[in-house]
Amino acid sequence: MPRRTSKTLDPVQNAYRVVQESIRETETVGPSLVSQVMSAMGRKGGKIGGKRRLVTMTSERRKEVAQQAAQTRWKKAKKTKKSA
């Protein structure tokens, strides 16, 4: 039976394929590392932000925000009851 030439790669093509695969692997590693670092930075700022907001907010503004949040929650509850 004759050998199929389409399945065998010459050494240059094989080297090119290996290089391309190694480049793809490093590209996928790069963004995930960046996203991990950015996620950690966001978490750090989020932990600080809530406490600082609580200190700087007046009691009237806190009351307004709480009432708005409660109204939004009740509005969502009414929508789910109507659709059910």
| pLDDT, tens digit, 9 for 90 and up, residues 53-77 | 888 889 999 999 999 999 999 988 7
What's the pLDDT score for residue 6?
A: 61
**Which band of pLDDT confidence, cut at 50, 70 and 90, is reported for residue 83?**
low
End-to-end CA distance of the chain: 68
pLDDT tens track for 10-59:
888 888 888 888 887 554 455 677 788 888 888 887 777 877 888 888 99
- In our burial notation (b when 16+ CB lie closer than 10 A, e otherwise), range 5-37 reads eeeeeeeeeeeeeeeeeeeeeeeeeeeeeeeee
Q: What is the pTM of this model?
A: 0.38
Q: What pLDDT score was predicted for residue 30?
A: 56
Model confidence at 8, pLDDT cuts 50, 70, 90, reads: low
Q: How far apart, in whole angstroms, are the C-alpha atoms of residue 5 and residue 1? A: 12
